[in-house]
């Protein structure tokens, strides 16, 4: 069995490792000329870390990432609303890892090269079309160099792991159009600074129209007594009925004035947000976009995975984690069902319903809804939080999202099944 994977992002590379573990050949085609360490911070929740541990990647990840120990929600004035332990501190068998996306991608890329061979990831090859017949699939690719040669690869299955602007999805679901904008603009940056709240804490502050998310992402920098801090500032610029002012592009840089004017007075006694923004020389602007969930992902021998299948708002820290879970499930289904068409149907049946729920829950702010409730009930701040929202209500929202997104603590104390389905 040979699987062709379009896209060497987090989802495509993790899939290649899962396929290899299951004894299935994988070839990954990536349009970029090389895999450079792009992006800012990203989170891996315990359910995906468990899967990466089963792939023997935990030591490399733990050496690079921050094992996040706490998540704290605040009001726009920096008043604490809800604090919960995270990862091992919360009783999970695995940590929550906050890491630079580029670093994560490099760890996966190096593992693929070491295990599958240097030829397994073919950079500079853009998939333009996928076709299939009764015996297999053909990937039609264009070499992204001066000669622009057409290349064809044959395989048994083709997986579109080609991100939010997926070519495979566009071919399978013609006429879908661009991603949907929520109306929120996000600015994301990384800067070295003094640690805050112990150096392993992720914070959010604000409400549905204005929010800050800040967390450290480097264990190497932490060991030097500093923090490599990832920040995301979000502001509502639209009501969700229009396209974003500029098409989403992960490498579009932002302007300090656009962000700072909204957050100028967000100086809390535990973190100075405007100082953090001002100290970041270069950062990125990206609209918060997703797509409507699809009723299906698999057409015969072709299927979708990760952002190509279920792009979601970056709420609840689930994008990369769900892509990794997809890959593990797909490899397992291909082992369990000799017929690839049947295997892809089982994969879709296992992964489409839960990821659809996450996409929809994230549109309603996911677990962060409690910040909006506090903003509505006490816009001027509070002296007694319990009079605004009860401990029970806070816990209910937090627990509900964890269960829905598949990382309830009681489900994550034992090892992941191997791709072959054996403990």
Ligand X SMILES: Cc1cc2nc3c(=O)[nH]c(=O)nc-3n(C[C@H](O)[C@H](O)[C@H](O)COP(=O)(O)OP(=O)(O)OC[C@H]3O[C@@H](n4cnc5c(N)ncnc54)[C@H](O)[C@@H]3O)c2cc1C
Pick between residue 250 and residue 270 the one whose CB is nearest to ligand X.
250
Pick between residue 221 and residue 374 the one whose CB is nearest to ligand X.
221
Pick between residue 75 and residue 167 the one whose CB is nearest to ligand X.
167
Least CB distance from residue 231 to ligand X, whole Å? 11
Least CB distance from residue 168 to ligand X, whole Å? 8
Please choose, from the candidates 176, 163, 155, 112, the residue with its C-alpha nearest in 3D space to the C-alpha of residue 320.
163
Strands 284-290 and 201-207: unpaired
Please choose, from the candidates 394, 369, 390, 263, the residue with its C-alpha nearest in 3D space to the C-alpha of residue 316.
369
Least CB distance from residue 321 to ligand X, whole Å? 9
Q: For the purposes of burial, counting CB atoms within 10 Å of the CB of 411, is it exposed (0-12), middle (13-18) or buried (19 or more)?
A: middle
Q: Which residue is nearest to ligand X (CB)?
A: 9
Pick between residue 126 and residue 355 the one whose CB is nearest to ligand X.
126
Least CB distance from residue 163 to ligand X, whole Å? 3
Alpha helices in 264-318 (DSSP H): 273-278
Strand extents, DSSP E, 255-326: 267-268, 271-272, 284-290, 302-304
Q: For the purposes of burial, counting CB atoms within 10 Å of the CB of 295, is it exposed (0-12), middle (13-18) or buried (19 or more)?
A: exposed
What CA–CA distance (Å, rounded) separates 350 from 347? 5
42 Cβ partners below 8 Å, 6+ apart?
Answer: 10, 98, 99, 100, 101, 104, 319, 320
Pick between residue 201 and residue 318 the one whose CB is nearest to ligand X.
318
Least CB distance from residue 417 to ligand X, whole Å? 22
Least CB distance from residue 305 to ligand X, whole Å? 7
- Please report the DSSP string for 97-110 in residue order: EEEEHHHHHHHHHH
Nearest-10 Cα torsion for 310, 315, 320, 322: -50
Pick between residue 32 and residue 385 the one whose CB is nearest to ligand X.
32
Place of tokens 């017929």: 339
Least CB distance from residue 121 to ligand X, whole Å? 10
Pick between residue 42 and residue 158 the one whose CB is nearest to ligand X.
42
Least CB distance from residue 30 to ligand X, whole Å? 5
Joined tokens for residue 281: 């020389």
Pick between residue 74 and residue 101 the one whose CB is nearest to ligand X.
101
Kindly list the residues in this chain that would bind ligand X in the complex (CB under 6 A).
6-12, 29-32, 38-40, 42, 101, 126-127, 161-163, 167, 188, 250, 306-308, 314, 319-320, 323
Least CB distance from residue 396 to ligand X, whole Å? 27
Nearest-10 Cα torsion for 229, 235, 240, 242: -100
Pick between residue 75 and residue 126 the one whose CB is nearest to ligand X.
126
Strands 2-6 and 25-30: parallel
Please choose, from the candidates 422, 423, 416, the residue with its C-alpha nearest in 3D space to the C-alpha of residue 14.
416
């Amino acid at each position: 069995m040979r699987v062709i994977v379009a896209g060497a992002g987090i989802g495509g590379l993790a899939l290649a490792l899962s396929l290899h573990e299951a004894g299935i050949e994988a070839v990954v085609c990536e349009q970029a000329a090389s895999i450079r360490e792009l992006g800012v911070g990203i989170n891996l929740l315990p359910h995906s870390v468990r899967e990466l541990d089963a792939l023997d990647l935990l030591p490399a990840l733990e050496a690079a990432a921050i094992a996040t120990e706490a998540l704290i929600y605040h009001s726009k004035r920096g008043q604490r609303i809800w604090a919960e332990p995270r990862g091992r501190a919360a009783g999970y068998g695995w940590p929550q890892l906050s890491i630079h996306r580029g670093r994560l991608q490099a760890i996966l890329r190096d593992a693929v090269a070491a295990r599958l061979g240097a030829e397994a990831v073919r950079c500079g090859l853009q998939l333009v079309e996928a076709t299939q017949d009764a015996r297999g699939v053909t990937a039609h690719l264009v070499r992204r160099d001066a000669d622009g040669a057409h290349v064809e690869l044959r395989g048994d299955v083709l997986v579109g792991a080609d991100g939010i602007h997926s070519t495979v999805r566009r071919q399978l679901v013609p006429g879908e159009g661009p991603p949907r904008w929520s109306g929120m603009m996000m600015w994301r940056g990384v800067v070295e600074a003094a640690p805050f709240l112990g150096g392993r804490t992720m914070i959010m502050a604000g409400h549905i129209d204005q929010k800050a998310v800040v967390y450290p992402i480097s264990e190497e920098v932490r060991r030097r007594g500093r923090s490599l801090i990832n920040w995301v500032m979000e502001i509502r610029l639209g009501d969700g009925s229009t396209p974003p002012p500029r098409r989403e592009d992960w490498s579009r840089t932002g302007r300090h004035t656009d962000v700072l004017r909204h957050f100028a007075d967000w100086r809390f006694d535990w973190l100075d947000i405007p100082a953090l923004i001002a100290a970041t020389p270069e950062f990125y602007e990206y609209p918060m976009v997703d797509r409507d969930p699809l009723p299906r992902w698999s057409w015969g021998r072709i299927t979708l995975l990760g952002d190509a299948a279920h792009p979601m708002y970056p709420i609840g820290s689930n994008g990369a984690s769900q892509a990794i879970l997809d890959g593990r499930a797909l490899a397992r289904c291909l082992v369990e069902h000799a017929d690839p068409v049947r295997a892809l149907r089982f994969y879709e049946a296992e992964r489409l319903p839960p990821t659809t729920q996450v996409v929809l829950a994230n549109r309603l702010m996911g677990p962060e809804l409690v910040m909006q409730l506090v903003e509505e009930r006490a816009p001027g701040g509070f002296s007694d939080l319990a009079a605004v929202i009860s401990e029970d209500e806070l816990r209910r929202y937090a627990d509900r999202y964890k269960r829905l997104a598949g990382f309830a603590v009681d489900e994550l104390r034992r090892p992941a099944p191997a791709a072959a389905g054996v403990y």
